Structure formats: C-alpha cells, structure tokens
Amino acid sequence: MPELNDQERDEIIEAIRAGRSLPARYRASLFDDALETELIWPGKTTDVERVVLPFQSIEHIDEPRSGTVKQPDLFSFSEMSGRQTGGWTNKLVWGDNKLVLSSLVNGPLRKQIEDAGGLKLVYIDPPFDVGADFSMDVQVGENSLTKQASIIEQIAYRDTWGKGRDSFAAMIYERLTLIHSLLAEDGAIYVHCDWRVNSLIRLIMDEIFGSDNFMNEVIWGYRIQGVGKKFWARKHDTLYFYRKSDAFRFKPQKEDVIYEKPFIDTKKRDSRITDLSEKRLQDAIESLKNRKSLNPALKEFLFDQYYNDVYVRDVWDSDATKPMISGSSEYLQYPTQKPAGLLERILESSSNPGDLVADFFCGSGTTLEVAERMGRKWIGCDLGRFAIHTTRKRLIGVQRDQASLNESYRAFEILNLGSYERQYFLGIDQDVDSAAREASKGEMREKFIELVMSAYGGQKSEQLPGFDGVKGNASVLVGPLDAPVTEDSVRRAIDTAKKAGIARVDILGFEFEMGIKPMMQDTAKDEGVTLTLRYIPNDVFDKRAIAKGQVKFYDVGYLEVKPKQVKDGSVTVELEEFSVFYAQEDADAAASGLKNGASRVVVDSGQVVRVAKDKRGVISKEILTKSWTDWIDYWAVDFDFESQREIVRMITDDGEKDVWTGRYIFENQWQDFRTKDSRELTKVSDKHTYDTPGEYKIAVKVVDVFGNDTTKVVKLKVK
C-alpha cells in the first residue's frame, strides 16, 4: 500500500472536515480492497506544487474607447465615471499555469473565487502535439513575417515533451490535480485532446476525478480536406467531460439536423411544387445542407421531410461547432485557436450566467471572449506574452461591442507573478519567515549574477567596484531580481564609469523605471560614456537555454509622447516616436543560406528586411519597415498614473496582509490597436478632461507587433 506524504494527509483531513468526498486517487492508499486500474510512468509522484506566490496587478481595463456601461444589477460602479468599483473583476494572468494554479488553490485569491460563487467550469486545451509548430505570422506595416515562439515557451514545450509521453503525463497530472482542488463541488471540466494523448488523459482523469464522475467522451469532428494514405484521415479531436461530484447539473442542448429519408412522401407535396423531379429534389436537398437559398415553398416542404430539432449527442460535427478556416471572420492566425461555437456549446450546457469559468491554457482567448459575451465571470492564464496581448485586444473588442449595444460587461485586470516568480525560479523559499527570506535573497544574489552574466556572454568580476562583470570592453551592471532599475542607480553607474575612465556601460534589468532610457543615455553620452539598457529575459533561469546560446537580451524600447492641452481644458496625447531593436535572425546569415533565386523576410537590428539571392548568386537586402509606426500594434493611456497603488495580499508571519509593492497599476483609460480587418492606427488619443486642475502624471503604454510593451511617463500641469 503506497504511503501518504504530509501534503496528501492535509488534503484528506481538509476534505473530511468539509464533508466532501475523498479524491479517487487516495483509494489505493486508504483501502485495501479499493484498488483500481492506475496509470504508472517512471518518476510518477502524487506530490503537486504547493507554493503560494502573490499576484501582481499590472493593468486594469474597464473603459473601452467607445464608452462605458453602468449596470448596478451586476456590480458596483461609480456614478461619476461609470467605472466598475466593486464585485468580481475578471482576471487574465501571464505566467506558468502550475505556479498560477498552486497560488490560486493555496493563496488568498481563493477566497475571492469562493465569494464569486466558486469555480464552476474549466475548459483547457493543453499542448498535445509533440511536433507542433507554434510560430505564427504577424503584420509589420504592409509585410507579413513569421514570429517564432519565445524561448520561455520553447522551454515549457521542451519540458512537456522532453521525455515523450512520460513528461507529458507528469505535466498534465499535476495541473489536473490542482484544477480538481480548485473546482467547486458542483463544478465540471472539459479537457481537449486528440489521438496522441487521449488514452493517457482518460486514465489520469479517472484517477484524479474518479471514473464515476466521467460524463462523456465527446467527438469533435471536422469535415476539412485531408486523406490518410495508410489509415483513415484523422479528422476529429476528443473532449473529456468530467464532473467534480454528483452535485453537478447539466443542461441538454438541441441542434438543427438534416436527416435524409429513404423515400419521399409524395402525398405531402405542395401544389406549388408538383413538378418536383427526383433530380431537382436531390439538388434541393444538397442546397439545403449547404445552407443555400431556395424557393420558400420548396424549402418548407424539404424541412418538413428532412429537418429535425434533436438533442445534441456526443458527436459534434454540425455547423454550430464547425472549425475555422483561414478566411473565417474570427480567425486570428493563432495556432491552436478553437471556434467560438465550440465554447458556446460547452458554456451553455455546463454553466449558468454569472458563473465563474476558467481556461488555464487560454491561448488567443476564445473561452474568455465567449464567457464575457455570455455573461460569465472568468479567469484566463497563459505562459506566452503574445497570447496575453492577443487576448487583451480581443476582450477590449468585446467591451466595445457590449458598450455600443448598451449591454453589461465586466472590468478585467492583467496579473502576473512578477518578481515573486523570479525568486521562485532562483530557489528562494517562499515558505520561510520574512527574515529568512531576506537573508536568502542576499545569498542568492551572487548565484543570480553568475547566471545572468553567463547568459549574457560575459564574465562575473569583482575587480570593478560598482559593477558586476564585463563583456568585451563594456562594464556590466546587473539590476535587482525583484525591483526596477532606478534612475539613481543608472546615474551612479555613469558617475563610476566616468571616474574610472570606462567608455561603455551595459545595464541589465528585468524592469526599468519608466522613461529613463532617452534621458539617461543622452546624459551618459555628454559625459563620454556609451550607455546601453537591456532587458533580462526569464529565459536566464533555464541552464539549457544558456548552454545553447538561446537567451537574447533586447534593448529597452525608445518611446516619445507629447501631451497637449486644448482650448476647452481637455488633454490629448500624441505618439511622436517609437523604436525597438529586435533581431530574430541575422540578415547576412539568412542570405548566405539561400539558394539562387530565393528570398526571405527576417527581423534584424530593429528592421524588417527582405534578403534575396538572384539566379547568379548576387545578394540584395531591402528594408521593408517604412515608418516607426509599423512596429506598433497597440497603445494605451493612463491619464492619471500613480492614482492607484499596486497592493498584493501576502501570507506573512502574522497572517495575511496587504502590502504595497512600490509600483502603480496602469489604469487603461483609452486605447487604440490594429485588428485583422483594420490596420490603421491613430497617433493622437481622444480628449480627456480632468475634474480638478493640478499636476498629473500620464503613462503611455505601447505594445509592439511581438507583444512586448514599452511605457513612458510624462508630467502635465493642468490649469
């Protein structure tokens, strides 16, 4: 009989105290005669992540550009602005879903979830294709280029499939266990998969949820081109539907289905269609199936003969859930994107308006969009920055649509685990008391510097006071693990370099104080120092990425904005300049690898470049980015930045308490962005009127076509 660890004992005791049924996976440990079929793989463990990391709120969005809606029956609001001030705020979380789930299950945010009625429904579409390509096409100006998956996404994917099915089983087992703990007793889950992993997932879910709580294996079929030369074409996915307990309630759905009958009842033929030949009849049937227009009398007759309003079965292959094609209006060119109709059926049957639903692999945000339109509360999570950006735009679009129809919508906030996640990656124990944690930070600083310098391609050095290492002829300063690089620290580095005769300084940081780059670089240049500010990516915490030279440090973007007061006392903000310094591939290296007569589009040194080799082998390069605005996909304005402090709820030695992080939440009050159908982008915001004169700080956030953001803060005196 397997022994129980402390974590498992705690969960069993908690379940007994709450009067809940015990999870099925403990039967073998507790009862000699309760053994069931179990999936075993090398290294399998029932231990799951227990860390609790505070959630940082980095952006709050409840005022779409086209206006706001006041809905006191759904949540509290401000009579002055129409902004939501109370009730559940939807949550879009950027981060590793294992850490996010653990922090939701065991942390202070769980009470908010329970106060919102509990988590009633989860849909997840985890990565189930071992050979999947997660690159995608993005538009830069008039050109399209391929965006590769970020290194952190590649690392996560490598961890998922590094040992094949065994590592996938370990990954999904831990996440499903956490989801089971988070679900309300009357909740349910749908897991989307295909033939590659469906046998694994079925057994794992039986173990975690219990085979008695298995409800359906739903077949989602799609009639799109494809042929298997040695087997039947694989044209369906699987949805496993499980409940948490028998308290769950389900609402059957109906759909319109056309069934062919073996004969026609000629007695029912309408007098207006007496000339209906067999050929015309068959042609009309095909037209009806393809939703083509027909003579009304003929259509009525055929519906009487062939049409049925039936309950949906466990094979979904009707128009209501048909997959998207490239020309579909909802298709965002996002890999793994699923059609809204699929999620509409799931939410309609397995949740009620006002229920809380979640998707912890949310991708482009289909589940969240459908939830918002159907009046559900939601939580979404994804590891990819671009996924979060795509979802943000999509949800603002829903807010705008709802506002234009005078219908309700909820505010949402973008969260991450931020500096606390980085502490976790470095190995700082979050469970020890605050004094021990601070001491651990000091000990880990040296390890952190070595890690960053190794990834940067430099060497740690203690020979230069005020700096942490060298790379070539540059002295390198590594910023804090859990705080922004400040203007004061940059100023000190410039002064130290000037006194020591150092001509070049590289400063690396996870975050930078907003707007310090242009000012400090100009100051350094005047004093004879070339200053470079670069972001440290989270990839530095993966030694495999460092060993392969995959970690890329990108320069902080350059952004210039100008606020302007107009005659009526209101204020607008204008974008004046923006630049980035990305490189996905060296243009010269790409050109050398081309065959004669071929060409490629690459990103090199902040430009989109077409490299070509003609039939004689002569190489040419053409810069395709025509304007700095080509790089901008989205921009937003907070007209009163620093009006809302970022408060996190932490578990401390004295219990839970709210702590100010020293940062402020970006209140997204106005935004403009490109969509698939509209590539235009305005450079001037709408007018904003302040209630009282005084000095204000305006924050402007620009998100580029790769999903990375740059923020600038400017001061304004309102008269």
- Rounded Cα gap, residues 487 and 468, in angstroms: 18
Rounded CA-CA distance 287/667 in Å is 52
The percent of the chain in helix, strand and coil, each rounded to the nearest 5, is 30, 30, 40
Return the closest-CA partner of residue 245 out of 214, 218, 217: 214
Reported residue count of the chain is 719
Q: How many other CB atoms are there within 10 angstroms of residue 637's CB atom?
A: 24
Q: Give burial (CB, 10 Å; 0-12/13-18/19+) of 372.
A: buried
Higher pLDDT, 303 or 675: 675
Q: Which of 372, 390, 416 is the last residue of a domain?
A: 416
Q: What integer pLDDT is reported at residue 76 of this predicted model?
A: 42
Banded pLDDT at 413 (limits 50, 70, 90)? very high
Point out the least confidently predicted range of 53-57, 96-100, 626-630. Answer: 626-630
Q: Which pLDDT value is given to residue 188?
A: 98
Cα(588)–Cα(604) distance, rounded to whole angstroms?
9
Give domain status of residue 705, yes or no. Answer: yes
Query: What distances in angstroms separate CA 293 from CA 287, 288, 504, 601, one per listed residue?
Result: 7, 8, 72, 44
Beta carbons within 8 Å of 488's beta carbon, 6+ residues apart: none
Bigger pLDDT: 608 or 25?
608
Q: 570: which 2 tokens?
A: 């209101």
User: Does residue 694 surpass a pLDDT of 70?
Assistant: yes
Residues 44 and 13 both lie in one domain: no
The CA distance from 63 to 70, in Å, is: 11
**For the range 595-603, what are the long-range contacts, defined as Cβ-Cβ under 8 Å and sequence gap of 24 or more?**
601/143, 601/144, 601/145, 601/146, 602/145, 603/145
Percent of the chain with pLDDT over 90: 42
68 shares its domain with 153: yes
With respect to residue 355, please indicate whether it lies within any of the assigned structural domains. yes
Q: How far apart, in whole angstroms, are the C-alpha atoms of residue 440 and residue 679?
A: 49
pLDDT for 469-507, tens place per residue? 999 999 999 999 888 898 899 999 999 999 999 999 999
Q: Are residues 41 and 170 in the same domain?
A: yes
Which residue type occupies 415?
L
Domain presence at residue 552:
no
Nearest to 646 by CA among 13, 55, 6, 41: 55
User: Do 63 and 148 fall into the same domain?
Assistant: yes
Distances (CA, A) of 15 to 20, 28, 112, 244: 5, 17, 20, 13
Beta strands 356-359 and 119-124: pairing type? Answer: parallel
Query: Same domain for 435 and 527?
Result: yes
Q: Give φ, ψ of 455 to 5 degrees.
A: -65, -30
User: Which position has the token pair 């005022």?
Assistant: 63
- 5 and 149 together in one domain: no
| CATH number, residue 468 | 3.40.1350
According to the model, what pLDDT value does residue 37 have? 74
Helices marked H in 216-322 — which ranges? 278-289, 296-306
Determine the average pLDDT of the residues in 34-47.
79
DSSP alpha helix (H) spans, 541-634: 543-547, 587-592
Query: Do residues 526 and 498 make contact, with C-beta atoms less than 8 angstroms apart?
Result: no
What are 220's two structure tokens? 């989602």
649-659 per-position pLDDT tens digit:
876 666 778 88
In a domain, 573, yes or no: yes
The residue among 267, 285, 311 that closes a domain is 311
In a domain, residue 553? The reply is: no
Inter-residue contact 716 to 571 (CB < 8 Å): yes
**Nearby residues of 151 by Cβ (< 8 Å), 6 or more positions away:** 537, 539, 542, 545, 550, 551, 552
How does DSSP assign 623-662, residue by residue? E---SGGGGEEEEEEETTTTSSEEEEEEEETTEEEEEEEE
Q: Which residue has the higher pLDDT, 209 or 64?
A: 209
Same domain, 170 and 91: yes
CATH of the domain at 387: 3.40.50.150
Mean pLDDT of all residues in 54-58: 91
Domain range holding 133?
37-253+313-416
pLDDT in tens, 215-270: 999 999 987 766 777 888 888 999 999 999 999 999 999 887 665 554 455 555 45
Residue type, 681: L
Give the integer Cα–Cα distance in Å for 243 and 350. 10
Quick check: 154 pLDDT over 90?
no
Which has more confidence, 516 or 420? 420
Residue 48 has pLDDT above 80, yes or no: yes
What does R_g of the chain's alpha carbons equal in angstroms? 29
Question: Is 402 in the same domain as 447?
Answer: no
Task: Look at the block and give the residue holding tokens 């850490």.
Answer: 99
Is-contact 673 530, C-beta < 8 A? no
Tokens of 421: 């996640």
Q: In the prediction, which pLDDT does 430 show?
A: 65
The alpha helices in 527-627, defined as continuous H runs, are: 543-547, 587-592
The Cα–Cα gap between 544 and 139 comes to: 31
Q: What secondary structure does DSSP assign to 101-162, as a single string?
A: HHHHHHSTHHHHHHHTT-EEEEEE-----TT----EEEEETTEEEEEPPPHHHHHHHHHHHT
Helix (H, G, I), strand (E, B) or coil at 400: helix
User: What DSSP string describes 663-685?
Assistant: EE-EEE-EEEE--SS-----SBP
Residue 640 in this model has a pLDDT that exceeds 90: yes
First to last CA, the chain: 76
Which uninterrupted H or E stretch holds 524? helix 516-526
- Say if 472 falls within a structural domain: yes
DSSP reduced 3-state for 700: strand
Residue 483 identity (one-letter amino acid):
A
Q: Are 359 and 294 in contact (CB under 8 A)?
A: no
Instruction: Enter the tokens of residue 323.
Output: 């997959």
State yes or no: pLDDT of 282 exceeds 80: no
Confirm whether 70 is domain-assigned.
Answer: yes
371 with 377: CB under 8 angstroms? yes
Q: Which amino acid would we find at residue 247?
A: A
Which pLDDT belongs to residue 676? Answer: 82
pLDDT of residue 74: 42
Structure tokens at 601: 């589009």
* 395 or 10, higher pLDDT: 395
In this structure, are 261 and 322 located in the same domain?
A: no
Q: What is the DSSP letter of 150?
A: P
Mean pLDDT, all residues of the chain: 83
Q: Name the amino acid, one letter, at 53.
A: L
The amino acid that residue 34 corresponds to is A
Rounded distance between C-alpha atoms, residue 531 and residue 520, angstroms: 8
Q: What is the pLDDT of residue 297?
A: 64
Tokens of 611: 């490299």
Which residues are paired to 672 by β-bridges? 635
- Give the CA count within 13 Å in the CB-facing half-sphere of 53: 27
Please tell me the predicted confidence (pLDDT) of residue 263: 47
| 276 pLDDT tier (thresholds 50, 70, 90) | low
> Cα 344 from chain centroid?
20
Show the tokens assigned to 440. Answer: 């651990």
Angle between helices 278-289 and 296-306 (to 10 degrees): 80
pLDDT in tens, 349-381: 999 999 999 999 999 999 999 999 999 999 999
DSSP state of 195: T
Distance CA 462, CA 473 (A): 16
Same domain, 593 and 668: yes
Residue 187 lies in a domain: yes
As to burial, measured by CB atoms within 10 angstroms (0-12 exposed, 13-18 middle, 19+ buried), residue 273 is middle
- Do 246 and 259 share a domain, yes or no? no
Of 416, 437, 456, the residue that ends a domain is 416
Q: How many domains does the chain have?
A: 5
Instruction: Give how far Cα 276 sits from Cα of 266, 283, 291, 455, Å.
Output: 10, 11, 19, 76
Q: Are 498 and 599 found together in one domain?
A: no
| 293 secondary structure, DSSP code | -
